[in-house]
Structure 1
Amino acid sequence: MARRPERTEESDDKFFDTLTGILAEAYGSHLHFGYWDASGDGSLAAATSCMTDQVIKRTRVRAGQRVLDIGCGTGAPALRLAHVCGVEVVGVSVSAREVDRANERSRREGLAHRVRFESADAMSLPYADGSFDAVWAIESMSHMPDRGRVFCEIGRVLAPGGRLVIADGYHRGAGPEASSALMDTMCTAFRMHSPPTLTGYEDLFTAAGLRTLESLDLSDHAWRSIGYLTETLRTRSPEFAHVLGEAAFTHLMECLKEADAAEIFGYVLLTAERRGL
């Protein structure tokens, strides 16, 4: 098993600052996998925006309620949620620069009174019990060293009956040796931790006092994003090599040539709720 870099707040801050800046130029404001269907225009920007809407639909929040965004990135998804639903949003990230940029975006859009972003660790959230009506995490759980601890924190800050929505990768199960090497390599390069299986996610929810409502496999709608990621890695190779390390980047590109990421990674939209007291 490839060894992941030791997680420190300072190293994470610098790493994600740089990575977000590079990827945002290719992906746009909604910095996550896209959702493609027959009604879309086929662009990456439209698809990533559509994925955000898939998550928003499942939060089922209404005006005046409060939502926590774990791993806020650019802040664009949180701001879209606030515009669409009239809610208050608090976004958190370990990257101080992401937080600053997201707050600036909130001010530009005239939403600073309802949407703010703060530096915080999802494994130790600085919020009171039951203080949010919904929580979401869009492709941020993969960077958490202890998912179980994060889900317990989410269960704590959610109000009874409050919803959690997760959009992220999952482990499809044992694959060929090349695919296993690709998983290890991708996780090392991007400071991720191997994703659970779908059953593994549900077990984590249960342990945190959360009840699974929906497990929707979106792999067929999302995997065009892998092509965009690979092309971005190729065209911006000097920058990625600098961020990830020359050897790690070279190994990653070699593994991507040899194995199909879709063989081991699926993409899922999970909805759960906090059990009532």
Structure 2
Amino acid sequence: MKVGSSEAKEDVAKFYNGSGTVRVAGKIRDRWGGNLHNGFWHDDTDDAPPEVATDRLTDLMIERLVPRPGQRVLDIGCGIGKPATRLLRAHPVHVVGITISESQVDQARADAVSNGLADRVTFGHADAMRMPFSDGSFDAAWALESLFHVPDRDRALAEAARVIRPGGRLAIADFVLRTPVSDVARRAVERITTTFGVHSVSSLDDYLGQLSAHGFTDIDVTDISDNVARTGTLLADAWEDVRDQLVENGNAEKVDAMITATRDFSNTPEFGYILLSALRV
């Protein structure tokens, strides 16, 4: 799914800057343990709270990154920097985070200072499709639930390949379509993508083809759709708890549509979720 590049970027920036109708990020982040991304649960009996489950997913990404001391790591779509903070606390690396949301940059920088990490991390405003870095600038990179926001994922992967040095690693957490997709599921997927600024979503085969075309090899993929599916139900419950705070200026219909789309994620197995790692040759 793709829309015009400038339109898509503006939609995503508004979504995370808090200037959009529902002011989504600022209203819910603290209730979701600070990480506004999916959680990982081992099985149906796992009763871990969201703050634990989301940290687990970050840790799985760190494992795929295989960080080594002194490496320079690019965080593509860094948000407010909480996953980067977890990486920095666990490993003596340096991180550069980019996002198209100015408010996220401001908060990430402030949090880095308060956490005593400002000497090892830099956050800046940049477009994943036009990264302001020279070739081979990074030893590794990750994109944790960010590439689906990019209007042209193929272009973003080409840029990632350009800025990662040969032999460097790329780790990705992203949505994919698990085919075949029924008409009912397709409508649910459309609600999800429209509501949450998902501009690039495809089958896993298409994803792998793009990675290979841009010089990535040793691609390792794990489908964790069943492990993260609970996120939609729990997050929708959290939205409903603060619904009265979100409803303003006659936007109740849009808020309710957001809650419905969030539940769709748990109820639509065709909207899958993968962890992926690859080497840049």
Taking structure 1 as the reference length, what is the TM-score of the superposition? Answer: 0.89
Does the CA-based 8 Å contact 1:143-1:193 persist in structure 2? yes
Which of 223, 228, 236 is the matching residue for 2:234?
A: 228
Q: Who is 1:22 aligned against?
A: 27
Give the Cα separation in 2 of the matches to 1:244 and 1:138.
Answer: 33
Q: How many matched pairs?
A: 275
Give the Cα separation in 2 of the matches to 1:265 and 1:162.
Answer: 29
Does the CA-based 8 Å contact 2:64-2:277 persist in structure 1? yes
Q: Who is 2:71 aligned against?
A: 65
Q: CA deviation at 1:28?
A: 2.0
Distance 1:240 1:62, change over 3 A: same
Does the CA-based 8 Å contact 1:5-1:188 persist in structure 2? no
Q: Deviations over 1:122-172 (max 9, x none)?
A: 000001100101100010111000000000000000010101100111111
Give the Cα separation in 2 of the matches to 1:190 and 1:244.
Answer: 20
Identity %: 36
Task: State the AA in 2 paired with 1:237.
Answer: R
Q: Deviations over 1:24-81 (max 9, x none)?
A: 1221222211111269661110000011000001111211110000111121110111
Give the Cα separation in 1 of the matches to 2:249 and 2:115.
Answer: 31
Distance 1:225 1:4, change over 3 A: farther
Task: State the AA in 2 paired with 1:110.
Answer: G
Does the CA-based 8 Å contact 2:74-2:140 persist in structure 1? yes
Q: Secondary structure at the match of 1:99?
A: helix
Does the CA-based 8 Å contact 1:217-1:268 persist in structure 2? yes
Q: Who is 1:188 aligned against?
A: 194
Q: Gaps spanning 5+ residues in structure 2: where?
A: 19-23
Matched, 1:164 2:175: no
Task: State the AA in 2 paired with 1:235.
Answer: D
Which is worse superposed, 208-217 or 152-161?
A: 208-217
Alignment of 1:27-106 (within 5 A): 27-37=32-42, 42-106=48-112
Which of 102, 111, 114 is the matching residue for 2:120?
A: 114
Give the Cα separation in 2 of the matches to 1:95 and 1:243.
Answer: 24
Distance 1:244 1:20, change over 3 A: farther
RMSD of the alignment, in Å?
Answer: 2.7
Does the CA-based 8 Å contact 2:235-2:262 persist in structure 1? no
Which is worse superposed, 73-82 or 234-243?
A: 234-243
Which is worse superposed, 9-18 or 244-253?
A: 244-253
Give the Cα separation in 1 of the matches to 2:75 and 2:185.
Answer: 32
Alignment of 1:250-269 (within 5 A): 250-253=256-259, 261-269=267-275
Q: CA deviation at 1:176?
A: 2.9
Does the CA-based 8 Å contact 2:178-2:203 persist in structure 1? yes
Give the Cα separation in 1 of the matches to 2:137 and 2:2.
Answer: 39
Give the Cα separation in 1 of the matches to 2:111 and 2:14.
Answer: 20
Q: Deviations over 1:67-117 (max 9, x none)?
A: 000111121110111111100000000011101101111111111111111
Matched, 1:148 2:192: no
Q: Secondary structure at the match of 2:7?
A: coil
Taking structure 2 as the reference length, what is the TM-score of the superposition? Answer: 0.88
Does the CA-based 8 Å contact 2:80-2:107 persist in structure 1? yes
Q: Secondary structure at the match of 2:235?
A: helix
Does the CA-based 8 Å contact 1:58-1:271 persist in structure 2? yes
Q: Secondary structure at the match of 2:268?
A: helix
Distance 1:257 1:71, change over 3 A: closer
Distance 1:259 1:8, change over 3 A: closer
Which is worse superposed, 174-183 or 73-82?
A: 174-183
Which is worse superposed, 144-153 or 24-33?
A: 24-33
